Amino acid sequence: MAPGGQFGTAAVAVVVSLAVHVVLNCPIQPVPSPTPPSAAYPPPNNLLQGLEKLGEGQLSGPEDVYVDAAAGGTLYTATRDGWLQRMQPNGTWERWRFVGGSGLLGIAPSADGSMLGLD
């Protein structure tokens, strides 16, 4: 037998006997948790069901949105085809700046006031 083999066998025997003891003499009796009263739940929040989807069917894989508060809340987005697009007041999208790249994933203002497309 390998050195320490007796210790390993003894350790396994202790673990097995403890497990059998716990299973046979378990003092814990599971009790189902009481159902909380319905008043404990907040009312359903359906606010997102009334949202308006901007650019649906017009934009190619839009990623990220930037709201230019200084320009009256003008919306910008970056699309997968390499364009930074700007929403017109009538809801149409203008291909504002071509940045290129293999797929824009974000948009952010730069320090000089221009816009950055994030690859």
Ligand X SMILES: *[C@@H]1O[C@H](CO)[C@@H](O)[C@H](O)[C@H]1NC(C)=O
Give the CA distances from residue 26 to residues 15, 20, 31, 33, 81, in Å, rounded to whole numbers and listed in that order.
Answer: 16, 10, 14, 19, 64
Unique residue bearing structure tokens 């999208």: 93
What DSSP character marks residue 12?
H
Q: Is 17 in the site for ligand X (CB under 6 A)?
A: no
**Six-digit token pair at 83?**
């364009």
Terminal Cα distance for the chain, rounded: 62
Report the residue number whose CB is nearest to ligand X.
90
Q: Between 9 and 88, whose beta carbon lies closer to ligand X?
A: 88
Q: Is 60 in the site for ligand X (CB under 6 A)?
A: no
**Six-digit token pair at 71?**
């320009």
Q: Is 6 in the site for ligand X (CB under 6 A)?
A: no
Total residues in contact with ligand X, by rule CB under 6 A: 3
What is the smallest separation between the CB atom of 46 and ligand X, expressed in angstroms? 31
Query: How many Å apart are CA 4 and CA 1, to the nearest integer?
Result: 8
What is the smallest separation between the CB atom of 88 and ligand X, expressed in angstroms? 4
Q: Between 75 and 105, whose beta carbon lies closer to ligand X?
A: 75
Q: Is 57 in the site for ligand X (CB under 6 A)?
A: no
Q: Is 92 in the site for ligand X (CB under 6 A)?
A: yes
Q: Which residues bind ligand X (CB under 6 A)?
A: 88, 90, 92
